[in-house]
Amino acid sequence: MDDNLVRLKLLTAPVSGFGSSNFDVLRTGPSFKLLGLEVPDAVADAFMITDLRVGKDSQLISPSCFPASFFAASSRRERLGLLGVAHNNTYLKVSLTNLCADERVFEGSFVGEVVGSHVDPRPGDGTKMRMIVGLGLTVVAPGAEVVVYGAQPQLRFLPRRLAIPRAVLGTGASGAFEVVAAAVLNYRRELRQKIEGPFVTDSYSERCEGNFECPVDMEPADILAITVRNRTDSQRAFYGTVAGTVTW
């Protein structure tokens, strides 16, 4: 993470086992372009980010849910791109869930840049920005195959990188999960575009460069569907994110 970035520290607070909590920071200075969160590696795997908002109208700036490990302090800068600028006297808000059965303490900071004059993009003006789309949290039975769905960005979205935390993939030669298929569905959940494989799960660790290519932009009402299989003989939780670009 670059040293010239601004960090707005969140309050450190305990979150009960499997419980949820909300944190916010009032931005009273110059306009602040949010690039993401920064969460210490020691606590990142214990939490899921369930909501991330900015501004007086609590504008959703990134469809969620996605693992806090995506924002671990050791992650690379380019994985933190998000939409959203907080102007004077507006809030930055984050909601999260403790993935562990016991109480854990969450700590972290909003990370971004102070910007001068800023004009929010208007629909249809062709502005392109990076966005992270969460795949939610799905419990998968031993040996089962399930479809997980990405949150709808409500903009034209071109998915590029699937990231699965190491805590989800597990260890071993085969890994805990196999990515079986991926596709873009319309709002009726009918197939619009199949995304061709092969899908090598190990290449989608959040510390690696995944090669996840989609041949079409997703329309605002489209849904990203990814089919995964639990390779283990025990129940496992699957979660991850897809990074890409949106066009206003």
Encode pLDDT of 154-208 as tens digits: 778 888 778 787 778 776 556 789 888 999 999 899 999 988 777 776 666 655 5
**% of the chain with per-residue pLDDT over 90:** 17
All domains of the chain in start order, with CATH: 6-114 (2.60.120), 128-247 (2.60.120)
Query: pLDDT at residue 105 above 90?
Result: yes
pLDDT on residue 106: 93
State the pLDDT at residue 141.
94
More confident residue, 48 or 206: 48
Residue 77's SS3 state is helix
Average pLDDT of the residues in 64-88 = 67
Amino acid 1: pLDDT: 46
With 50 as the cut, is the pLDDT of residue 79 above it? no
Question: What pLDDT band is residue 80 in, cutting at 50, 70 and 90?
Answer: very low
Question: What's the rounded Cα separation, in Å, for the pair 107 and 46?
Answer: 11
By CB atoms closer than 10 A (0-12, 13-18, 19+), residue 87 is middle
Maximum mean pLDDT: which of 4-8, 199-203, 207-211: 4-8
Q: Check: CB of residue 45 under 8 Å from CB of residue 168.
A: no
d(CA 215, CA 204): 19
Amino acid 146: pLDDT: 96
Among the listed residues 77, 242, 76, the one whose alpha carbon sits nearest the alpha carbon of residue 164: 242
**Rounded mean pLDDT of 12-27?**
86
Quick one: CA dihedral 121, 126, 128, 132, positive or negative? positive
- With 0-12 CB in 10 A as exposed, 13-18 as middle and 19+ as buried, what is 29? exposed
CB neighbour burial string for 227-247, b if at least 16 within 10 angstroms, e if fewer: ebbbbbeeebebbbbbbbbbb
Least confident of 56-60, 65-69, 95-99, 134-138: 56-60
pLDDT in tens, 132-157: 778 878 889 999 999 998 877 677 88
| Pairing outcome for strands 32-38 and 47-54 | unpaired
